[in-house]
Structure 1
């Protein structure tokens, strides 16, 4: 019988690799890319909080990481709103470097 911490660590690593796979393979829309990045952040947060709980050190570092992940999500959503308002969609194929 496997230890629960090993199962949780394997689950969080699986979440990180699934997020990475979806970020690489489904990159046609900006919203899909942002969702896969948030899924990877959730896996990293879960792995970080498990590691901090097992070591018994400061748990405030994981709260700081969660705050930074939330700020990253808000910045990504504001970028998505800006792109949709300026280009009328979030597809990467419609972006051009020559447009202002």
Structure 2
């Protein structure tokens, strides 16, 4: 029963991050933070699944490496956007203004 409650909590974490990612479109930074939150919830789900199943934890290290690379790439894009446009609003991005 407790295992099911933990997985339910993790799924709720993931879907709340997905909801924030799909609904809040004003700032680029909020979108990046919601993506990191979703990656954290997937990591927690993998930890629970692999520990309950008795599997090896090497895949978690690979997953964390990719999550960190995704976060660093997102922050570098954010810094580039702020330097180019002056803010991180989605409304200020324009394809015509290169």
Counting only pairs closer than 5 Å after superposition, residues 79-94 of structure 1 correspond to structure 2 as 79-94=77-92
1:27 to 21, 25, 28: 25
What is the Cα deviation at residue 27 of structure 1? 1.3
Q: TM-score, normalised by structure 2?
A: 0.95
What is the Cα deviation at residue 35 of structure 1? 0.5
Q: What is the CA–CA distance in structure 2 between the aligned matches of 1:99 and 1:56, rounded to whole Å?
A: 54
Corresponding residue number in structure 2 for 1:60: 58
Describe the superposition over 1:48-72 as per-residue Cα deviations: whole angstroms up to 9, x where unpaired.
1111111111211011101110110
Gaps of 5+ in 2: none
**Could you list the runs of 4 or more consecutive aligned residues of structure 1 that deviate by over 6 angstroms after TM superposition?**
none
Q: What is the CA–CA distance in structure 2 between the aligned matches of 1:50 and 1:11, rounded to whole Å?
A: 12
Gaps of 5+ in 1: none
Q: What is the CA–CA distance in structure 1 between the aligned matches of 2:87 and 2:76, rounded to whole Å?
A: 14
Q: TM-score, normalised by structure 1?
A: 0.94
Describe the superposition over 1:34-85 as per-residue Cα deviations: whole angstroms up to 9, x where unpaired.
0011111111110011111111112110111011101100110011000001
Describe the superposition over 1:78-99 as per-residue Cα deviations: whole angstroms up to 9, x where unpaired.
1100000100000011011012
